[in-house]
Amino acid sequence: MPALARKLRLHDYFALAFGAMIGTGWLVLMDDWLGRGGPLGAALAFAIGGILLLPVGYVYGQWVKRLPDAAGEAAYAAQVFPPIVSYFTGWMMLLAYFIVGPWEAVALGKIAAYIFPSLDSFELYRIAGQPVFLPRLILGIALTLLLGFINYRGIRLSANFQKAMTSMVLLIFLALITISAIHGAPSNFHPAFHAAPLLSIFLTLQIVPYFMTGFESVPKYAEEANPDFRQSGYMQAIGLALCVGAIFYALCILAVAYISPWQSLLGQHFSTAVAFEHGLGHHWIVQLILVMACFGLFQCFNGNFAASTRLLFAYARRGTVSPIFAAIHEKFSTPSSAVLAITAGTLLGLLLGDAILVPITEVGSMASALGWLATCLSFWLVDSRSLSKSESPTQLVPANQRPDPKVVIPHRVPRLITRGVTGLGILVSALLVLMKLVPDFPGHFSHAEWLAFALWLLLGAIFHRRSSPALT
C-alpha cells in the first residue's frame, strides 16, 4: 500500500513553517501597521506577539512527538473531545491554510499591475464593486497550477522550492536592513507611537496572529520526516520559525520607518517600496522589493497550499470527509487527490476577487487562534489524565497506524513547567479568539465576517461524514 514519502529534515520544516508565515503583508499592509501603532508600537507588537506564541508552539512541539499525525489539531482534539468537535476544529484550521492560496494568487496580480499598469485592463466582471481583470486572473491561475504541479510531483520538490524562496527572501531582507541602516535617520521615527504606547501596541497586537500563522504547520508533515529525523527537531523548527518570523516583521517595520518619515507613508499603496524609494532616491530599489515580495508570495502560497493538502488528506483517511481525498500517488508518494482538490478550490476562490476574500481572510485569522486553543486545551486534558493515573506520557498512535503498540517517551521536562507553559498557551489563544468574537474589542468580526464564518461551518457540515470509531 503506498505511503507518504519520508524525506523532510530540519531545514525543510523550518522553510515550510517560516514560508507559511511570511507572504506580502510587509509590503502591502505596512501603512496599516504604522497607522495602528507607529514604528515602535508596531515593532514591539510583533516582537511581543512572537513571545506570546512561544507557549503555543511548545504545546505543538509536545503534541507532534506524542502523536505524529497529519490531521494535526483534529487528531489532538479527538483524544479528549467528541468527534464532531475534533472535526470542526480541523475544518477551521483548513480554512486558515486554504484561504491564503486565493489571496496570494490575487496579490500576485496586484504586484504585477504595480510594475505593469497595463495589466489593469480587460475587466471581466465586478464583485462588491471591485473589478476582476483578465490579465491578473491569468497570472493567478498560472501560479496556482504551477504550485499544484510542484506539490503533485512530490514533497521533496515542494520543500526544495520552499527553501529556494525562503533563502531569497532572507537575503534580500538583510540587504534592505543594511540599506536602511546606512541611508536612514533617527528623526524619521518621530513620533515613535501613533497613540498612547499601550494602545498603539494593542491595536497592532490584535492582527499579529494572522501574520504569524504557519508555525503550527510543522505537525502536518510529521509523517513525512526522514527516518533519521530526531523528534526534538519538531520543536526546534517551530521555535525557530516563530522567532525568525517575529524578528523579520519587527525589523522590517523599523527599517521602513528609519529610512523615510513614517507618517508620510500612511495611505500609500505599497508603502514599503515607497519608503525605500524616497529614502534612497533611486527607483531600482522598488524593483528589488517587488522581487522580494514575489518570492515571499510564492513561499507563503506554497507553504499554506501544502499544509491544506495534508489536512484534507488526513481528514479523508480518518473517514470524516470522502475517502477519495485519501489517495496516495504510487509514483510520487503524495496525497494526489487532495492536491488536485485544493488546486481546484483555489482556482474557484481566485474568481471571487479580493473584495470577497478580505472577510474570509479575517475569519481565517480567528480560525488559527481557535485551532491553537483546541490544541492547548486537549494537551492540558491529556496531560491531566496521564498525571491522574501516574503514567508516563506516551506516544499516541496516528490514525493510519492504529494496530501499532504505544511507545513510551521519557518525560524530560518537569511536569510543573509543562503545565505552566500549556496554561499560558490556553490563555493566549483564548484571548486571541475573544478579540475577534467580542464586540467590545477593536477589530472584532463585522457582519460580513460573521456571514463568512457561518458559510464555512455550513460547508463543513455538508462535507462531513461520520467517521469510523477506529479512526477517531
Model pLDDT, residue 387 = 59
3 state DSSP class of 157: helix
**26-53 per-position pLDDT tens digit:** 988 898 899 989 999 999 999 999 999 9
Q: Which residues of 349-371 are buried (b: 16+ CB within 10 A; e: fewer)?
A: bbbbbbbbbbbbbbbbbbbbbbb
Per-residue model confidence (pLDDT) at position 44:
96
pLDDT the model gives residue 329: 92
Query: What is the per-residue pLDDT across 304-338, written as a single tens digit (0 to 9) for each?
Result: 999 999 999 998 988 888 889 999 999 999 999 99
Of 371, 399, 404, which is closest to residue 75 (Cα–Cα)? Answer: 399
Exposure string (b/e) for 428-459, b if CB count within 10 Å is 16 or more? Answer: bbbbbbebbeeeeeeebbeebbeebbeebeee
Angle between helices 447-463 and 353-388 (to 10 degrees): 60
CATH no. for 10-467: 1.20.1740.10
Cell 511507545 found at = 407
Q: Residues 408, 413, 414, 418: what is their CA dihedral angle, to the nearest 10 degrees?
A: -100
Q: Which triple of cell numbers denotes residue 197?
A: 504606547
- pLDDT, position 413: 62
Q: Enter the C-alpha cell of residue 217.
A: 504547520
Contact status, residue 212 vs residue 238, Cβ threshold 8 Å: no
Q: What is the b/e burial string over 260-278, where b = at least 16 CB atoms within 10 angstroms of the residue's CB?
A: bebeebeebebbbbbbbbe
What are the residues facing 294 on neighbouring strands? none
Q: 351 to each of 138, 139, 441, 451, how far by Cα in Å?
A: 10, 12, 32, 19
pTM across the whole model: 0.87
Q: Nearest 5°: CA angle at 347, between 344 and 351?
A: 140
Residue 127: beta bridge partners? 130
Q: How much is the mean pLDDT over the chain? A: 86
- When pLDDT is cut at 50, 70 and 90, the band that residue 443 belongs to is low
Per-residue pLDDT of 132-168, as tens digits, reads 889 999 999 999 999 999 999 999 999 999 999 999 9
* 354 compared with 339, residue with greater pLDDT: 339
Q: Three-state DSSP class for 394?
A: strand
- Under DSSP, the state recorded for 393 is P
What is the Cα–Cα distance from 174 to 251, expressed in whole angstroms?
Answer: 10
pLDDT tier at 405 (50, 70, 90 boundaries)?
very low
Burial of 125 (0-12, 13-18, 19+ CB in 10 A): exposed
pLDDT in tens, 74-131: 999 999 999 899 999 988 888 888 888 888 888 888 888 888 888 888 888 888 778 8
Q: Which residues are 65's β-sheet partners?
A: none
Task: Find the largest Cα–Cα distance for the chain.
Answer: 68
Whether 404 has a pLDDT exceeding 80, the answer reads no
Count H helices, E strands: the chain?
17, 4
* Cα separation values, 298 from 16, 23, 137, 170, 242, Å: 11, 8, 16, 14, 19
Rg (CA), the chain: 22
Q: Read off the DSSP letter of residue 441.
A: S
Pick left, alpha or beta for residue 144 (phi over 0 → left; psi -120 to 50 → alpha; otherwise beta).
Answer: alpha
Q: Where are the domains of the chain?
A: 10-467
Could you tell me if residue 119 is left (phi over 0), alpha (psi between -120 and 50 degrees) or otherwise beta? Answer: alpha
